[in-house]
Amino acid sequence: MQAKNQKIVVLGTGGTIAGESSSASEGLNYTAAQRGIEVLVQAVAEIGQGLPTALTAFQFESEQVAQIDSKDMNFATWRHLAQRCHAWLNQDDVAALVITHGTDTLEETAYFLSKVLSADKPIVLTCAMRPANFKDADGPQNLRDALHVAAVAKGAGVWMVAAGEIHHSQHVQKVHPTRVNAFDSGEAGVAGTVQSDVVVWRNAFKPVPKQVVLSPSDLPEASTWPWIEVLMNHVQANAKVVDLLVQAGVNGLVVAGTGNGSISTAFKEGLMRAQSAGVDVRVASRCNQGPVIATETHAFRVLEGLSPVKTRVALLLDLLSRLIKH
Ligand code: SIN
């Protein structure tokens, strides 16, 4: 028998995939982050007739990095997670990482990790919309598919796998509060699919070139990370909120503008005041598909066509880079 000298490491952070409800028929009212990562990995082995062939070449190891509902994800956990990923990825016998995560902020963590992890190995996040003890729990299959994708993905990249779809960290977004297939990659589309233990990469999918901006070892204590808020343009958006945030010491603001990043006149004036006071302002769109196309009418920078929450992560890393250089 061939020795399994490569491993896939599974890092647990909590979420519904590790959640439990009062009964197997209760899928919406539950507590996230109850089961340990070892129990979740064990459940994968219990599905179907053995593991997909691609997985039989690997050993699995797991580590509980956090145990939280991802609505409570925070900078300290991000820093710790990035450092644990970095440590595992630096080991020669580690081929890939899989991270279990709550669905609610998964896209922010995935994008954050894509900007701080430089190793040439795949990182695959997965999750579930149904708690682990639900009769039709989606977690075990999602984790199995994520392990499979981690085993066959070529080279670097941060991906997410759920409901039989492979998404890229740059594009993936949670678009539905309850449905099992809750994620979408908008116009970029899925990167591939995993159906009945067959991984198919979509030829038309163009992976975004990797651009790492910081290393986990550069990340300072979380308490020193900049304060950045996301605001939304809407009918009668009130600039008073901007002035109050500036007075309170906010470091950055992201505006989820209307349409192609438009901002009402009064709200924009408030944001211009904030910018003059030294607050970094970026603009994205509150539309849930398609990038903002920057034009000369935009008073604030647009970042890579990112969603508002990912623009916030990009601005956070930008401000952290500047902080570190000084
Ligand atoms: C969470 O994000 O941790 C809870 C919700 C979920 O995982 O679906």
DSSP 221-249: PGGGSPPEEEEE--TT--THHHHHHHHHT
Mutate to test the pocket of ligand 1, among 68, 71, 173 (most ligand atoms within 8 A of CB): 71
**3-state class (DSSP) for residue 126:** strand
Residues 118 and 215 sit within 8 Å (Cβ to Cβ): yes
What's the CATH fold of domain 7-201?
Answer: Rossmann fold (3.40.50)
∠ Cα 223 271 289 (to 5°): 85
**Of the candidates 101, 93, 152, 159, the residue with the CA atom closest to the CA atom of residue 128:** 101
| pLDDT of amino acid 2 | 55
Residue list, ligand 1 pocket, CB within 6 Å: 14-16, 32, 69-71, 102-104, 127, 129
Task: Tell me which of 13, 16, 77, 105 is the catalytic residue.
Answer: 16
Q: Which of 70, 74, 142, 181 to mutate to test the pocket of ligand 1 (most atoms within 8 A of CB)?
A: 70
Cα separation, 208 vs 161, in Å, equals: 17
Centre of ligand 1 from the C-alpha of residue 80, in Å: 19
Q: Which residues, 6 or more positions from 218, have their beta carbon under 8 angstroms from its beta carbon?
A: 320, 324
- pLDDT attached to residue 89: 97
d(CA 324, CA 301): 22
**CA-to-CA distance for 253 and 180, rounded, in angstroms?**
33
Distance 17 CA to ligand 1 centre (A): 8
By the 8 A CB rule, do 252 and 315 touch? yes
pLDDT at residue 45, rounded to an integer: 79
pLDDT at 81 (0 to 100): 98
Main-chain phi, psi angles of 158, to 5 degrees: -110, 120
Question: 35 C-alpha to center of ligand 1: Å?
Answer: 13
d(CA 192, CA 202): 5
Domain boundaries, the chain: 7-201, 226-325
Strands 122-126 and 94-100, how do they pair? parallel
Contact yes or no for 128/142 (Cβ under 8 A): yes
Tokens of 62: 């797991």
Task: Specify the residue with its C-alpha closest to ligand 1, atom 7.
Answer: 102
For the chain, the first-to-last Cα distance in angstroms comes to 55
- CA of 101 from ligand 1 middle (Å) equals 7
Q: Is 16 a catalytic residue?
A: yes
What's the rounded Cα separation, in Å, for the pair 314 and 282? 10
Q: What is the pLDDT of residue 326?
A: 80
> Do the Cβ atoms of 90 and 119 come closer than 8 Å?
yes
pLDDT at 207: 78
Atom of ligand 1 lying closest to residue 69 CA: 3
Residue whose CA is closest, atom 1 of ligand 1?
A: 102
**Which of 104, 172, 179, 180 should be mutated for ligand 1, with most atoms under 8 A from CB?**
104
Q: Are 17 and 37 in contact (CB under 8 A)?
A: no
Q: Per CATH, which fold does 226-325 belong to?
A: Rossmann fold (3.40.50)
Atom of ligand 1 nearest to the CA of 16: 7
Residue 136 CA: distances (Å) to CA of 91, 129, 141, 146, 255: 36, 10, 10, 18, 39
Atom number in ligand 1 closest to CA 104: 2
Whether the CB-CB separation of 218 and 195 falls below 8 Å is answered with no
10-residue averages of pLDDT along the chain (326 residues): 82 98 94 97 84 93 98 98 98 97 98 96 98 96 98 90 97 97 96 96 86 95 98 98 98 98 97 98 95 91 93 98 90
Q: Quote the ligand 1 centre to 106 CA distance (angstroms).
A: 8
Give the pLDDT of residue 83: 98
pLDDT of residue 47: 79
Cα(72) to ligand 1 centroid in Å equals 10
